[in-house]
Amino acid sequence: MKPYVLLNSAMTVDGKIATNNSSMKISGKNDLIRVHTLRKEYDGIMVGINTVLIDNPKLTIHKINCKKSENPTRIIVDSSARIPLDSKVLNDDAKTIVIVSSKANKASVELLKEKCNVIICGSKQVNLKLALDKLYSLGIKSILLEGGSTLNFSMFKEKLIDEVSICIGSKILGGYDSKTFVDGEGFDKNDCINLKIKKVEKIDDDILLKYDVIY
């Protein structure tokens, strides 16, 4: 068994979610409120280590009223245990799980265990299928994936995403140093991910698209 996974993201009209070294506000205020309302509905919120290193996010619900106990468990995919110990996701505002591979430095892992729960899955890279199985056994039955482009690709590749929600902000970023919604080596024409549209919604000057994922 695995948790139900909704990939939620915001991207520009030209498909960019960030630059290589920083994030940016792509969608408007009301979409941010939507996202934080969505966070309240899920057991866990997942990102990759690059998101933590670049943005140092809280990954808590703070755009709407929320009790501390209502925050989802923060889940960080970090194969090499590179997460700084002073990262905001390691504070006591919510529970945190860091998923590492067995190649991670043992001393770093031991220090990390003093701050949060650590799951070891995979040898060189995190085995995402096994990781989601373990998360399910820990009571994480639903995950809001707010990953960067690399984690998004890996989750699609392993066929672990059930639903996609994309807010297209009224911006164009361009540039070769920009991150797209999904990176990685890509899929060939026979293996590309197919989506079935469920809903189209206008939020201020943005467009929200909701899809089921077809494997």
Give 114-155 pLDDT, tens digit per residue: 999 999 999 999 999 999 999 999 999 999 999 889 999 999
Residue (of 165, 162, 159, 154) closest to 207 by Cα position? 165
User: How many structural domains compose the chain?
Assistant: 1
The yes-or-no verdict on residue 19 having pLDDT over 80 is: no
Residue 161, domain CATH: 3.40.430.10
Confidence label for 175 from pLDDT (cuts 50, 70 and 90): confident
The yes-or-no verdict on residue 190 having pLDDT over 80 is: no
More confident residue, 32 or 190: 32
The yes-or-no verdict on residue 20 having pLDDT over 90 is: no
Quick: pLDDT tens for 22-53.
Answer: 777 899 999 999 999 999 999 999 999 999 99
The yes-or-no verdict on residue 198 having pLDDT over 90 is: yes
Q: pLDDT over 90 for what percent of the chain?
A: 83
Runs of H (alpha helix) within the chain: 29-39, 49-55, 106-113, 128-137, 149-157
The yes-or-no verdict on residue 174 having pLDDT over 90 is: no
CB atoms within 10 A of CB 158: 14
> CA 82, CA 69: separation in Å to the nearest integer?
27
Q: Which domain holds residue 158?
A: 4-214
> CA 123, CA 193: separation in Å to the nearest integer?
27
Indicate the pTM of the whole model: 0.95
Residues 66-76, mean pLDDT to the nearest whole number: 94
> CA 72, CA 42: separation in Å to the nearest integer?
6
| Three-class SS state of 137 | helix
The pLDDT assigned to 12 comes to: 94
Task: Tell me 145's DSSP state.
Answer: E
Find how far residue 152's CA is from the centre of its chain.
7
Distances (CA, A) of 2 to 131, 138, 177: 9, 11, 34
Residue 191 CB-half CA count within 13 A:
9
